[in-house]
Amino acid sequence: MPGTFVRACGLSELEENTPKRVELDGTPVSVVMTEGEVFAINDICSHANVSLSEGEVEDCQIECWLHGSAFDLRTGKPSGLPATRPVPVYPVQIEGDDVLVSLNQES
């Protein structure tokens, strides 16, 4: 159901700038804590169909390890080639130690 938040992981399981891959209702999601915020972005690169959670996080972007495209964690938009299409980002709520994600796409 769109807009429904489900538990993705515990806040205590996240390390700063280290993506955590989770699967929510069959959808691969990368959960990232950076710059004091928690973000959820689809874990599949729009260019090469590989896991973004294996890449690095810097300046609120996650970089695809294969070809170097970086995606804004707030918008999902790529910052440069070879990727030209954004990846979905998802709303996040924090309740206690629970990181909750809604697969209702923000952008």
Q: Which domains does the chain have, with CATH numbers?
A: 5-95 (2.102.10.10)
Looking at residue 17, what DSSP letter applies?
Answer: T
Helix (H, G, I), strand (E, B) or coil at 69: coil
The Cα 78–Cα 65 span in angstroms is 14
Phi, psi of 38 (to 5 degrees): -115, 135
Strands (DSSP E) contained in the chain are: 5-10, 20-24, 27-34, 37-42, 57-58, 61-63, 70-72, 89-90, 92-95, 98-102
Please count the other Cβ atoms lying within 10 Å of the Cβ belonging to residue 82: 14
Per-residue pLDDT of the chain (107 residues; tens, 9 = 90+): 456 999 999 999 999 999 999 999 999 999 999 999 999 999 999 998 899 999 999 999 999 999 999 999 999 999 988 999 999 999 999 999 999 999 986 54
